[in-house]
């Protein structure tokens, strides 16, 4: 579904991502773990061309390395950015409408489906997104990304700052989504992420240190020591 | 050396001045000894700092013998001390504030000063039986403020009554509030002491509101744009000025007007005519120095001759310079008629 | 003040106010998407008036000239964005402000070099300069037309902003350009559209301004631009409705200061700003504005 | 200790150069240097409130005007005032104001400082673009007051024949003094607090900083030097009128400090030289030129067009100004370090 | 247990029609580590803001060290000995790590403006002293090597530490930490707990913290208060909170993942 070849990201003289290769099969959940500043967010941003990068990105058989961000999204690759980034001055409904900007004909149907998937949002359709609680904003961010009916969804730390109960709900939804689309997930909570993922990559200092089936990674001593804790 | 505001907020005046100056230069730039006069024109953006710097540049870089400029009195006053200090003659063609030449040995002007013009306005109004007036003052222009004061003084002294003074600001375009106020006063005459851009719009708005009272202004309104912008509303607008091409009787004036028409294909304005006269006075002073066997670049001599100009026949009439360096000359009164500046009368000092 | 004069002044206020309102709408719209005080807005307005002037001078019919004027402004506005603002989308806002001032200087001086600084007489067709007499009160037709146009434009802009997906995108852009792109939206195209629209509004304002006050010069946009900016801030910058309200308030204040205290006419502009400061003291974000820099702890 | 000695030597050397220049250079060159000196004082102090403290204020034209008028009134002899005030008689207090050069300049600074103190209450109630318009409005109001209170300012006629005491020795030394004071402020707890306010006001408060007080201190300091600069300007030009202090003056200063890098004092200094110099250097553009064998003809105003284009280009390439928010030595150090790493 | 250093007494906080805090009371004993947990939007950050003076409570009072500090302005609250960190990191972005920490000393530097401008002896004395002290704090956090780096170029975890170091520089008695472990992986979180324990010891601190990482809360806190819709639904030992049915229903859920 998605293939990265020799992806590199520089911020000025700082190298955040140093030539990584990845391959993600359709209808799987792949997780990318690593400590703070390892380059996870930079990788996702580079894939959608939100930051300057070098290297090749192939999505669904098409080279999207040079495409502008909005084109990539139109091609069917959606990103739920770090820190939710809902449009705080738009209502919940309007946020969803923005998600379906290029998907006018299916808007009504999808909106109904999102409210079914996230019943917590159902009662808050007209509320400004900025006044939602953190968890609700996170749900909205995911729903908004799904409104474009992407072939693949990338999530950047969806559990950041969320109460444990909501983290649980979000993970359940991600598992549910796997049935229909491909998912790339970044999580600090490596244990939970590996548990629902099929495959995992471990990023260290901008390079891939380790990769493999998630069960294998969960059993790996080094991963345990570095990312899962005692 | 010439310093003019060719850009910036008062660019229009600088640009018209330069128009007249160019004509005068083309007509004559040879001195009696065969030397060519060289003009160096610098723009000061209408800014004092730049005006003063420009004079120094002319003195140091171009070795200027004489400085010509500026239009606005404020800028001329920034230049005057520099010229004074360098003992270099300076002549301003259009700065009418009395203080420009005050106490200066090296500063002369080719135009009359505000008090004279204000008095002429008042006298003309009174002579025509107008007893009550509303004065319109542009609070932003020293020219207008000084002129208003002179007008009021002369008008009341002559038995007239000032009903009200309304203030405007140059750059404004909406004078409806002022016009409505004037309307409720029913004056015999409206003395407008500002410049033409505001005059044109104000008279237009006044006529639109049904005010038929005549306007009288001064040299600041005598620009073709008064008619172009004011249109029919400007009809009957009277003003005092230095010059009217219809009154141009001397051969010098006729030649200038002719050349002006040929080059620009429009009526000659007084700002340009004044610039031409200032230039002419410089030329004449230099020639007199040559006659005396001195170099035309002898600053002391040129200044001396400039300050003692007597009976110079210029485009704007006969110019005499008094002991303060101010030009003593006649003023004309014009009136807008059929879209032209019709000459009415000449008032002698 | 008698009733006639009062009514007349009321009309004068409405006339001036609607003019400010019209120009302030464009100002605030550009601010709304880019958070940029577009100091060149007044100059774009000047460009519109000049293009129309040139077209009429060339003998074209007025309607066509107006269209050309609007087109000219739109082209200049869009080019301005492409050349001077777009490369700075991610730069500090203040750098943008400087390029805006640069563009403003550039347009003013360019038109000064080309046309000279002498004001030009702008000629409008008779049907726009008609004046009605209601007893002793004089009512120029523009006083009727301009508010209607202003309200029509206001409703149009509000409709776009709040009823169409493009409007939602415009509002979202103000807060978060990168995330708008993540919705598959060509953000730059939308910004270009906003500039085009803002410039068109500036041109309409400029042309009406020139019709009402038929004297145009390269610096005509400076003071009006500043006043429109003040009006936009008074109403709460970024709020279109606020801009219109601010415009009218400013118009009425200016007229009535002069009308009630002719001796203080010289303080007219000071009053406008004084009033603005007073309002901001009690409502630090203007009448309709929201606190855009509000930070949650 | 070693640093202190080097600093002293540098200061003495600069003073030496200033006094040498004052004696030997021609009046045109000196005039440009004087302009640069005065604008350096204005830009440096404006940078304190706008760059270092991050308050987007647009008022310096107001403070410069206050300084210029107060200084001028102190310098002009009483007899001259009576003669000069053409519209109404000068107010009695105006006649009593008499001082020598340095006290007069100082008084201009103090007057501006007091006004700043008074203003800080309304100004710092609002933030960001709202602060911009409030301060812009203040500059406007000051100018309008200058126009409409002829008993104090002689209205639109302005003041002239101001004794010309300000030579390059004064202006240059005061510019140097301003630079040193500004740098000392920046590298003290006050400067740090100002930067903290700029970066994040709430976080600064959470560090125990009284942000209102810090902003006011910066504002008043800035106003003081704007006033001093205004006083020097008045004495240097010998004539002032209200229209000189329009917002164009503010814009010019804004351009300088942004170009130099907001918050960088040495950057402001370099940018002053660039901006003030280029207005003069670009003069050749107004004249007739021969390009590719063709005469371009005279285009008065061309230099301003080119200036605007240069300004835009410079902003496009140096987004954070010449030095970012660093001072020149830090900037050079960082550049060198960067070279090492690559 | 020793006396209460901080007491929140019947505090209610309303935003327009929304009641964010509803008649909340709790006491933080001196020397303890006290936890504040609850679902998103429960009002945890809001009560922090009430304590620090960023928001003035609609009703009720805040007692600190025996003194009623309700409505005291934020910078004055710092002077009284309360320092905080922010939920989303708020470092001074144009400054180096060291300078960020130096800001914390602001109130402890007693040279005046003129001494600064003319660099009189007191200026040098203070500047030298606080630089040494600041480096000391950075050392404690293992950040000394980054002293001259731009603060915002540091990794997320290190930025959090700089924020705590900066708060510590104000010499507080009470330290308020808003989600200090957010965005950290379990290993980094453990590293952070060790640091907090150590500074608590070294600087004689009382700590009040908000956190969603229950493992961290469990390991750190003596007592927790659980908020839901601005109301206290539980107060007690963390170990008891985890099994409390009300807390589980409102906050923890049945999905255990860590
Ligand atoms: N805009 C930027 N400018 C400069 N450096 C940056 C920028 N964004 C990220 N970096 C640096 O790039 C490196 C990788 O950052 P990135 O955000 O990709 O990490 P991450 O793995 O997502 O970390 P986290 O878990 O904290 O989200 C870090 O060292 C960071 O400091
Ligand atoms: N300035 C404000 N204006 C209006 N409502 C506010 C404001 N600050 C907070 N709220 C509301 O108060 C409630 C409590 O917010 P608070 O930030 O305290 O939650 P929290 O417990 O810290 O949640 P989280 O765990 O997501 O950080 C929320 O409903 C929030 O929307
Ligand atoms: Mg990240
Ligand atoms: Mg919170």
Q: Is C263 inside any structural domain?
A: no
- Label residue A22 by pLDDT band (50, 70, 90): very high
Q: Decide: E206 and E51 in contact? Cβ < 8 Å.
A: no
Which structural domains are found in chain A, ordered by start?
1-22+33-77 (3.40.50.300), 80-149 (no CATH)
- CA of E155, closest atom in ligand 1: 31
Average pLDDT over residues D144-157: 86
- CA of A35, closest atom in ligand 1: 25
Contact yes or no, B with D (3+ CB pairs under 8 Å): yes
Please tell me the distance between residue E214's alpha carbon and the centre of ligand 4 in angstroms.
Answer: 15
Q: Do C99 and D251 touch (CB under 8 A)?
A: no
The confidence score (pLDDT) of residue D295 equals 55
Q: Which residues of A touch D342 (CB under 8 A)?
A: 13
The confidence score (pLDDT) of residue E208 equals 96
* Residues of chain D numbered 283-342 and touching chain A (CB < 8 Å): 338, 341-342
Q: What is the pLDDT along chain E (258 residues), one digit of tens a residue?
A: 457 899 999 999 998 778 889 999 999 999 999 999 998 888 999 999 999 999 999 999 999 999 999 989 999 999 999 999 988 788 998 899 999 999 999 999 899 999 999 888 888 899 999 999 999 999 989 899 999 988 888 877 889 899 999 999 999 999 999 999 888 888 888 889 999 999 999 999 999 999 999 989 999 999 999 999 899 999 999 999 989 999 998 888 864 544
Per the structure block, which two tokens stand in for C223?
């003071």
Q: Is C279 inside any structural domain?
A: no
Res C290 pLDDT > 70: no
**pLDDT one-digit tens code per residue, D265-289:** 888 888 898 888 887 777 777 666 5
Q: Which residues of B touch C118 (CB under 8 A)?
A: 12, 15-16, 223, 225
The confidence score (pLDDT) of residue C78 equals 94
Beta-bridge partner residues of E198: none
Average pLDDT over residues B309-318: 84
Provide the shortest C-alpha distance from residue B273 to chain D (in Å).
Answer: 20
- Please name the residue of chain D whose CA is at the shortest distance from the CA of residue B143: D157
Please tell me the distance between residue E228's alpha carbon and the centre of ligand 2 in angstroms.
Answer: 12
Sorted by sequence, the CB contacts under 8 Å of residue B210 that are 6+ apart come out as: B183, C133, C136, C138
- CA of A41, closest atom in ligand 1: 22
Q: Do A168 and E253 touch (CB under 8 A)?
A: yes
Q: Do D217 and E113 touch (CB under 8 A)?
A: yes
Question: What is the rounded CA–CA span in Å between residue B107 and residue E176?
Answer: 74
Q: Decide: D255 and C98 in contact? Cβ < 8 Å.
A: yes
Res D290 pLDDT > 60: no
The confidence score (pLDDT) of residue D332 equals 76
pTM: 0.88
- Label residue D340 by pLDDT band (50, 70, 90): low
Q: Which residues of C touch B200 (CB under 8 A)?
A: 119, 121, 215
Q: Do A36 and E157 touch (CB under 8 A)?
A: yes
Contact yes or no, B with A (3+ CB pairs under 8 Å): no
Domains in chain E: boundaries? 1-81+172-258, 92-169
Nearest CA to ligand 1 atom 29: A37
Question: What is the rounded CA–CA span in Å between residue E114 and residue B53?
Answer: 37
Provide the percentage of residues in chain E whose pLDDT is more than 90: 66
Q: Is C53 inside any structural domain?
A: yes
The confidence score (pLDDT) of residue D298 equals 64
Mutate to test the pocket of ligand 1, among E94, E152, E153 (most ligand atoms within 8 A of CB): E153
Question: What is the rounded CA–CA span in Å between residue C139 and residue C111?
Answer: 34
- CA of A34, closest atom in ligand 1: 21
Average per-residue pLDDT for chain B: 86
Which CATH number does the domain E1-81+172-258 belong to among 3.30.70.100, 1.10.10.10, 3.40.50.300, 3.40.50.12780?
3.40.50.300
The confidence score (pLDDT) of residue A229 equals 66
Q: Is C4 inside any structural domain?
A: no
Q: Do D199 and E75 touch (CB under 8 A)?
A: no
Per the structure block, which two tokens stand in for D54?
């991050």
Q: Decide: C68 and C93 in contact? Cβ < 8 Å.
A: no
Which structural domains are found in chain D, ordered by start?
2-341 (1.10.3470)
Res C294 pLDDT > 80: no
The confidence score (pLDDT) of residue D337 equals 65
Question: What is the rounded CA–CA span in Å between residue C47 and residue C104?
Answer: 11
Res D335 pLDDT > 80: no
Can the peptide bond before residue C210 be classed as cis, meaning omega within 30 degrees of 0? no
Res D204 pLDDT > 50: yes
The 3-class secondary structure across chain B, one letter per residue, is: CEEECCCCCCHHHHHHHHHHHHHHHHHCCECCCCCECCCCEEECCCCHHHHHHHHHHHHHCCCCCCEECCCCHHHHHHHHHHHHHCCCCEEECCCCCHHHCCCCCCEEECCCCHHHHHHHHHHHHHHCCCCEEEEEEECCCHHHHHHHHHHHHHHHHCCCEEEEEEEECCCCCCCHHHHHHHHCCCCCEEEECCCHHHHHHHHHHHHHCCCCCCEEECHHHCCHHHHHHHHHHHCCCEEEECCCHHHCCCHHHHHHHHHHHHHHCCCCCHHHHHHHHHHHHHHHHHHHHHHCCCCCCCHHHHHHHHHCCCCEEECCEEEEECCCCCEECCEEEEEEECCEEEEEEEECC
The confidence score (pLDDT) of residue D287 equals 67
Q: Which of A81, A101, A148 to mutate to test the interface with C (most CBs of C within 10 A)?
A: A101
Mutate to test the pocket of ligand 1, among A17, A37, A40 (most ligand atoms within 8 A of CB): A37
- Label residue C293 by pLDDT band (50, 70, 90): very low
The confidence score (pLDDT) of residue D319 equals 72
- Please name the residue of chain D whose CA is at the shortest distance from the CA of residue C35: D129
Question: What is the rounded CA–CA span in Å between residue B45 and residue B16?
Answer: 15
Q: How many domains does chain C divide into?
A: 1
Nearest CA to ligand 2 atom 18: E43
Q: Do C175 and A88 touch (CB under 8 A)?
A: yes
- Label residue B273 by pLDDT band (50, 70, 90): confident
Q: Do D247 and C226 touch (CB under 8 A)?
A: yes
Average per-residue pLDDT for chain C: 86
Q: Which residues of E touch C297 (CB under 8 A)?
A: 45, 48-49, 54, 86-87
Residues with CB under 6 A from ligand 1: A 11, 14, 16, 34, 36-42; E 153, 155-156, 183
The confidence score (pLDDT) of residue D328 equals 77
Q: Which residues of C touch A149 (CB under 8 A)?
A: none
Question: What is the rounded CA–CA span in Å between residue A229 and residue A220?
Answer: 12
Ligand that comes closest to the CA of residue C295: 2
Per-residue burial over C256-265, b if 16 or more Cβ lie within 10 Å, else e, is bbbbeebeeb
Q: Is C1 inside any structural domain?
A: no
Beta-bridge partner residues of C132: C139
Average pLDDT over residues C291-296: 46
- CA of E87, closest atom in ligand 2: 27
- DSSP for C58-80, written as a single string: TT--HHHHHHHHHHHHHHHHHHH
**pLDDT one-digit tens code per residue, B187-211:** 999 999 988 889 999 998 898 888 8
Q: Do B174 and C217 touch (CB under 8 A)?
A: no
Q: What count of other Cβ atoms lies within 10 Å of the Cβ of residue C140? A: 22
The confidence score (pLDDT) of residue D64 equals 96
Contact of A89 with chain C, judged by CB distance below 8 Å, is answered with yes
Provide the percentage of residues in chain D whose pLDDT is more than 90: 37
The confidence score (pLDDT) of residue E257 equals 45
- The whole domain housing C108 covers 19-220
Chain E residues in contact with chain C using a Cβ-Cβ cutoff of 8 Å: 45, 48-49, 54, 86-87
Instruction: Name the most confidently modeled range: A12-16, B21-25, B322-326, E44-48.
Output: E44-48
């Amino acid at each position: 579904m998605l293939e990265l070849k020799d992806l590199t990201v520089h911020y000025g003289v700082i190298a955040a991502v140093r030539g990584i290769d990845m391959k993600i099969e359709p209808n799987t959940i792949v997780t990318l773990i690593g400590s703070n500043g390892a380059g996870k967010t930079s990788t996702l941003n580079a894939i959608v061309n939100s930051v300057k990068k070098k290297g090749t990105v192939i999505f669904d058989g098409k080279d999207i390395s040079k495409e502008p961000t909005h084109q990539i999204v139109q091609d069917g690759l959606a990103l739920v950015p770090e820190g939710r980034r809902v449009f705080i001055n738009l209502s919940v409904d309007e946020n969803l409408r923005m998600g379906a900007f290029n998907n006018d004909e299916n808007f009504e149907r999808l909106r109904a489906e999102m409210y079914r998937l996230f019943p917590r949002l159902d009662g808050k359709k007209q509320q400004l997104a900025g006044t939602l609680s953190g968890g609700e904003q996170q749900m909205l961010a995911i729903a908004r990304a799904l409104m474009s009916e992407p072939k693949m969804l990338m999530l950047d730390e969806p559990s950041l700052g969320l109460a444990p109960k909501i983290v649980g709900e979000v993970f359940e939804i991600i598992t549910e989504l796997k049935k229909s689309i491909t998912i790339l997930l970044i999580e600090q909570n490596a244990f939970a992420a590996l548990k629902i993922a099929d495959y995992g990559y471990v990023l260290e200092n901008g390079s891939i240190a380790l990769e493999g089936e998630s069960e294998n990674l969960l059993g790996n001593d080094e991963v345990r020591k570095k990312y899962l804790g005692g | 050396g010439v310093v003019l505001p060719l850009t910036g907020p008062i660019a229009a005046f600088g640009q018209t001045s330069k128009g007249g100056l160019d004509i005068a230069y083309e007509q004559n730039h040879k001195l009696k000894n065969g030397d060519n006069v060289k003009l160096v024109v610098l723009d000061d953006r209408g800014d004092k700092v730049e005006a003063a710097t420009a004079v120094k540049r002319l003195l140091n870089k171009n070795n200027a013998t004489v400085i010509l400029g500026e239009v606005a009195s404020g800028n001329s006053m920034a230049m005057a001390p520099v010229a004074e200090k360098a003992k270099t003659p300076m002549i301003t063609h259009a700065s009418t504030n009395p203080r420009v030449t005050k106490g200066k040995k090296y500063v002369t002007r080719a135009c009359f000063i505000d008090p004279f013009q204000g008095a002429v306005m008042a006298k003309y109004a009174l002579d025509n039986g107008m007893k009550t007036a509303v004065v319109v003052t542009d609070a932003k222009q020293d020219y207008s403020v000084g002129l208003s004061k002179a007008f009021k003084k002369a008008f009341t002294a002559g038995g007239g009554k000032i009903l009200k003074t309304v203030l405007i600001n140059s750059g404004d375009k909406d004078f409806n509030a002022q016009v409505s106020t004037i309307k409720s006063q029913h004056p015999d005459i409206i003395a407008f002491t500002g410049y033409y851009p505001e005059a044109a719009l104000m008279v237009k708005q006044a006529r639109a509101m049904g005010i038929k009272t005549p306007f009288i202004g001064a040299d600041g309104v005598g620009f073709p744009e008064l008619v172009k912008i004011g249109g029919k509303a400007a009809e009957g607008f009277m003003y005092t000025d230095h010059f009217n091409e219809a009154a141009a009787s001397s051969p010098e004036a006729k030649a200038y007007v002719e050349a002006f028409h040929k080059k620009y294909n429009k009526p000659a304005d007084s700002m340009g005519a004044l610039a031409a006269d200032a230039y002419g006075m410089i030329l004449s002073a230099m020639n007199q120095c040559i006659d005396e066997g001195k170099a035309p670049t002898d600053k002391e001599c040129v200044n001396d001759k400039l300050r003692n100009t007597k009976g110079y026949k210029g485009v704007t009439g006969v110019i005499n310079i008094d002991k303060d360096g101010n030009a003593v000359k006649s003023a004309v009164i014009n009136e807008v008629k059929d879209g032209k500046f019709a000459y009415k009368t000449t008032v002698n000092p | 003040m008698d009733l006639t004069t009062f009514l007349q002044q009321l009309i004068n206020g409405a006339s001036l106010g609607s003019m400010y309102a019209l120009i302030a709408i464009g100002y605030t719209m550009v601010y709304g998407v880019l958070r940029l005080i577009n100091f060149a807005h007044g100059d774009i307005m000047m460009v519109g008036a000049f293009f129309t002037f040139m077209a009429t001078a060339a003998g074209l019919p007025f309607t066509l000239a107006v269209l050309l004027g609007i087109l000219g402004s739109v082209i200049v506005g869009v080019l301005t964005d492409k050349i001077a603002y777009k490369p700075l989308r991610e730069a500090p806002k203040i750098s943008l402000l400087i390029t805006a001032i640069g563009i403003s200087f550039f347009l003013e001086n360019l038109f000064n070099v080309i046309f000279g600084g002498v004001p030009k007489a702008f000629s409008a067709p008779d049907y726009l300069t008609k004046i009605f007499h209601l007893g002793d009160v004089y009512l120029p037709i523009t006083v009727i037309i301009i508010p209607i146009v202003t309200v029509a434009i206001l409703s149009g802009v509000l409709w776009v902003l709040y009823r169409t997906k493009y409007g939602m995108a415009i509002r979202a852009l103000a807060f978060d350009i990168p995330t708008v792109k993540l919705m598959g939206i060509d953000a730059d195209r939308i910004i270009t559209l906003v500039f085009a629209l803002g410039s068109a509004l500036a041109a309409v304002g400029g042309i009406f301004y020139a019709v009402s006050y038929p004297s145009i010069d390269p610096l005509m946009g400076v003071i009006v631009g500043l006043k429109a900016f003040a009006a936009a801030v008074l109403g709460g910058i970024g709020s279109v409705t606020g801009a219109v309200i601010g415009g009218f308030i400013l118009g009425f204040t200016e007229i009535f200061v002069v009308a009630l205290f002719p001796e203080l006419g010289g303080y007219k502009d000071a009053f406008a700003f004084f009033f603005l400061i007073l309002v901001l003291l009690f409502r630090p974000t203007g009448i309709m504005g929201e606190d855009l820099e509000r930070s949650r702890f | 200790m070693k640093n202190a000695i080097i600093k002293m030597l540098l200061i003495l050397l600069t003073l030496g150069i200033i006094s040498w220049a004052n004696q030997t250079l021609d009046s045109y060159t000196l005039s440009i240097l004087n302009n640069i000196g005065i604008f350096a004082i204005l830009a440096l102090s404006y940078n304190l409130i706008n760059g270092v403290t991050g308050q987007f204020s647009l008022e310096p034209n107001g403070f410069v005007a206050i300084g210029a008028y107060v200084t001028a009134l102190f310098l002009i002899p009483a007899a001259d005032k009576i003669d000069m005030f053409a519209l109404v008689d000068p107010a009695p207090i105006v006649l009593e104001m008499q001082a020598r050069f340095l006290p007069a300049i100082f008084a201009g600074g103090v007057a501006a400082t007091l006004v700043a103190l008074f203003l800080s209450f309304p100004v710092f109630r609002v933030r960001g673009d709202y602060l911009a318009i409030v301060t812009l409005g203040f500059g406007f109001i000051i100018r309008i007051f200058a126009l409409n209170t002829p008993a104090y300012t002689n209205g639109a006629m302005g003041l002239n024949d101001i004794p010309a005491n300000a030579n390059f020795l004064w202006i240059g030394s005061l510019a140097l003094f301003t630079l040193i004071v500004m740098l000392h402020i920046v590298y003290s707890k006050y400067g740090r607090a100002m930067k903290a306010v700029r970066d994040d006001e709430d976080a600064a408060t959470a560090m125990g900083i009284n942000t209102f007080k810090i902003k006011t201190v910066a504002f008043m300091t800035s106003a003081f030097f704007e006033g001093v600069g205004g006083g020097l300007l008045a004495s240097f030009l010998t004539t002032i009128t209200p229209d000189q202090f329009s917002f164009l003056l503010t814009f010019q200063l804004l351009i300088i400090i942004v170009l130099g890098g907001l918050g960088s004092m040495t950057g402001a200094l370099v940018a002053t030289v660039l901006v003030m110099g280029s207005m003069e250097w670009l003069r050749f553009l107004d004249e007739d030129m021969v390009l590719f064998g063709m005469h371009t003809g005279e285009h008065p105003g061309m230099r301003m067009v080119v200036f605007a284009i240069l300004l835009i280009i410079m902003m496009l390439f140096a987004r954070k100004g010449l030095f970012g928010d660093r001072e020149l030595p830090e900037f050079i150090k960082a550049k060198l370090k960067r070279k090492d790493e690559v | 247990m020793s006396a209460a250093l901080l007491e929140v007494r019947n505090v209610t906080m309303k935003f327009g029609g929304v009641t964010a805090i509803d008649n909340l009371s709790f006491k933080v004993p001196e020397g303890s580590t006290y936890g504040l947990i609850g679902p998103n939007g429960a009002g945890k950050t809001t009560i922090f803001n009430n304590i620090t003076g960023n928001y003035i409570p609609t009703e009720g009072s805040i007692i600190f060290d025996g003194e009623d500090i309700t409505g005291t302005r934020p910078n004055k609250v710092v002077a009284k000995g309360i320092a905080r960190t922010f939920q989303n990191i708020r470092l001074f972005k144009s400054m180096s790590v060291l300078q960020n920490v130096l800001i914390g000393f602001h109130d402890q530097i007693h040279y005046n403006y003129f001494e600064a401008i003319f660099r009189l002896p007191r200026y040098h004395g203070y500047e030298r002293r606080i630089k040494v002290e600041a480096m000391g704090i950075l050392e404690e956090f293992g950040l000394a090597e980054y002293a001259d780096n731009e603060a915002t170029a540091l990794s997320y975890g290190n930025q959090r530490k700089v924020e705590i170091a900066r708060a510590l520089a104000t010499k507080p008695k009470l330290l308020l930490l808003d989600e200090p472990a957010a965005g950290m992986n379990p290993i980094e979180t453990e590293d952070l707990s060790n640091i907090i324990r150590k500074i608590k010891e070294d600087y004689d601190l009382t700590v009040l913290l908000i956190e969603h990482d229950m493992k961290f809360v469990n390991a750190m806190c003596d007592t927790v208060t659980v908020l839901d819709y601005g109301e206290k639904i539980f107060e007690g030992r963390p170990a008891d909170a985890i099994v409390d049915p009300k807390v589980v229903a409102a906050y923890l859920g049945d999905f255990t993942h860590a």
